[in-house]
């Protein structure tokens, strides 16, 4: 007996049963239009299991949505609309951004209660109920806010296409995120201690360049020698390198190194190098050329500054793990690699560099991001100011 889908877009049935009554072949039919005589055209799919044929049916429906110009929006589910919306924008998103949207689709929309809801019947009450269920499943407020942000972008298109009158994501009650303030920078004493400890370490120059330029990890890993100007003592940030998932048209993913431009226009910038870094970079360049001769055909030829001994790019998870392990050994509260960037900004603020200049050096698109670091630094500085007063005044 056929089992109809709830939205009427196809049916699944047992095609073949063995002598024991076990189904060994499942079938699915879906109407794909009418022929010239006005008769229904049906597409038939088969699978060894009910799950297999269901997945084939869902995939075929998604493919139809991507190519069809005649869509019945009254019977269109949110998961199908989100999938179509995302795939139509695949080429416009950078890999990491696409990965974030795909992750929300795969983990929280596809097959979920809201995913199976007809898009025209979706409202803030439905969303609130779904988010409350997620909270009961111990999904964090940060994750729920991320889901709503991605979904809101999707449904904004549905509003523009007159599928929805208003975007329900704009009216939901989101759980509040309580951020615990963690120290994310090294004090000057801790920085000196770290620099002393890492002398001779394989990632020494990477850490020193991060502390001396405030570059992001992806910017450092994507740095090429052509962007290092020894004459002027500067680095030009033009590209980033990230290991991330790349998706094909069926959302199958593979982990790849992706070279791309910085996220914003402000990310492209020229950074002055501390004078002590210049000879270290020159020596590193010399070592790379020597290794190229030493290893011959085994050496991976590229223009990247930060590579291993045989020229391979550095795995983007390695610097963070290494830094935290080192800081633990030094009895310093571990910070993430990104904390070295904030440490760079902190040293600048401590030495009176204006926030606008720091914004330019860091490549922040929004001055508020820079000011947030500045505020944290000034919070500590005010106690130093009081200590100074204490030494002046004696009551």
> What tokens appear for 295 in the block?
């290893």
Dihedral (CA of 127, 132, 137, 143) sign: positive
Average pLDDT score over the chain: 86
pLDDT tens digit sequence for 163-179: 899 999 999 989 887 66
Please give the pLDDT value at position 194. 96
Which residues span the domain enclosing 158?
A: 72-178
Beta strand pairing call for 240-247 and 253-260: antiparallel
CB 258 within 8 A of CB 241: yes
CATH code, domain carrying 307: 1.10.443.10
Whether 197 and 316 map to the same domain: the answer is yes
Asked if residue 393 belongs to a domain, the reply is no
Query: Predicted confidence band at 96 (pLDDT cuts at 50, 70, 90)?
Result: confident
Whether 237 and 342 map to the same domain: the answer is yes
Among residues 70, 104, 120, which one ends one of the domains?
Answer: 70
CATH code, domain carrying 169: 1.10.150.130
Query: Predicted confidence band at 8 (pLDDT cuts at 50, 70, 90)?
Result: very low
Q: What is the dihedral of CA 60, 66, 67, 73, to 10 degrees?
A: 90
**Closest listed residue to residue 357, CA positions, set 348, 365, 366, 346:** 348
Please give the pLDDT value at position 130. 94
Orientation angle between helical segments 141-160 and 124-136, nearest 10 degrees? 160
pLDDT tens digit sequence for 226-269: 999 999 999 999 999 888 888 877 788 888 888 888 877 888 99
Whether 247 and 327 map to the same domain: the answer is yes
Whether 251 and 334 map to the same domain: the answer is yes
**Closest listed residue to residue 236, CA positions, set 262, 206, 254:** 262
Whether 307 and 382 map to the same domain: the answer is yes
Please say if the pLDDT value at position 392 is more than 80: no
CB 308 within 8 A of CB 291: no
Whether 38 and 162 map to the same domain: the answer is no
Dihedral (CA of 302, 306, 311, 317) sign: negative
Whether 159 and 102 map to the same domain: the answer is yes
Please give the pLDDT value at position 143. 92
**Closest listed residue to residue 64, CA positions, set 76, 51, 54:** 76
Please say if the pLDDT value at position 353 is more than 70: yes
Whether 14 and 24 map to the same domain: the answer is yes
**pTM (global) more than 0.75:** no
Asked if residue 395 belongs to a domain, the reply is no
Please give the pLDDT value at position 2. 47
For the chain, how many structural domains are there in total?
3
Name which residue leads in pLDDT, 344 or 66. Answer: 344
Rounded distance, CA 140 to CA 176, Å? Answer: 10
Whether 353 and 240 map to the same domain: the answer is yes
Among residues 70, 105, 121, which one ends one of the domains?
Answer: 70
The beta strand positions in the chain, using DSSP E, are 3-4, 11-17, 23-34, 40-47, 228-229, 234-237, 240-247, 253-260, 269-272
Whether 118 and 202 map to the same domain: the answer is no
Name which residue leads in pLDDT, 72 or 281. Answer: 281
Whether 273 and 361 map to the same domain: the answer is yes
Whether 249 and 375 map to the same domain: the answer is yes
Please say if the pLDDT value at position 68 is more than 50: yes
Rounded distance, CA 298 to CA 293, Å? Answer: 10
Residue with tokens 């995302």: 86
């Amino acid at each position: 007996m056929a089992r109809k889908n709830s939205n009427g877009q196809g049916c699944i049935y047992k095609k073949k049963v063995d002598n024991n009554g076990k189904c060994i072949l499942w079938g699915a039919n879906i109407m794909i239009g009418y022929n010239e005589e006005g008769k229904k055209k049906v597409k038939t799919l088969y699978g060894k299991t009910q799950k297999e044929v269901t997945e084939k049916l869902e995939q075929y429906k998604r493919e139809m949505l991507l190519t069809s110009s005649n869509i019945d929006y009254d019977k269109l589910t949110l998961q199908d609309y989100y999938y179509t919306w995302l795939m139509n924008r695949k080429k416009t998103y950078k890999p990491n951004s696409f990965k974030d949207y795909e992750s929300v689709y795969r983990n929280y929309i596809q097959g979920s209660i809201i995913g199976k809801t007809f898009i025209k019947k979706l409202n803030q009450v439905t969303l609130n109920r779904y988010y409350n269920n997620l909270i009961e499943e111990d999904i964090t407020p940060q994750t729920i806010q991320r889901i709503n942000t991605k979904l809101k972008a999707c449904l904004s298109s549905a509003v523009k296409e007159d599928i929805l009158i208003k975007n329900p994501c704009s009216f939901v009650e989101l759980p509040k995120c309580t951020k615990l303030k963690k120290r994310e920078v090294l004090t000057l004493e801790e920085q000196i201690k770290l620099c002393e400890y890492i002398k001779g370490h394989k990632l020494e120059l990477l850490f020193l360049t991060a502390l001396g330029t405030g570059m992001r990890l992806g910017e450092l890993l994507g740095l090429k020698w052509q962007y290092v100007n020894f004459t002027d003592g500067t680095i030009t940030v033009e590209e980033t390198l990230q290991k991330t998932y790349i998706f094909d048209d069926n959302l199958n993913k593979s982990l790849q190194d992706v070279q791309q431009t910085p996220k914003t226009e402000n990310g492209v910038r020229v950074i002055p190098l501390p004078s002590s870094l210049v000879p270290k970079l020159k020596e590193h360049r010399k070592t790379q050329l020597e290794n190229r001769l030493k290893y011959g055909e085994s050496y991976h030829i590229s223009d990247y500054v930060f590579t291993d001994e045989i020229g391979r790019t550095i795995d983007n998870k390695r610097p963070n793990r290494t830094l935290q392990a080192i800081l633990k050994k030094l009895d310093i509260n571990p910070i993430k690699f990104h904390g070295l960037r904030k440490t760079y900004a902190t040293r600048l603020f401590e030495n009176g560099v204006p926030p606008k200049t720091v914004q330019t050096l860091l490549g922040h698109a929004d001055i508020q991001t820079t000011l947030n670091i500045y505020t944290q630094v000034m919070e500590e500085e005010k106690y130093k100011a009081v200590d100074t007063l204490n030494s002046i005044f004696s009551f």
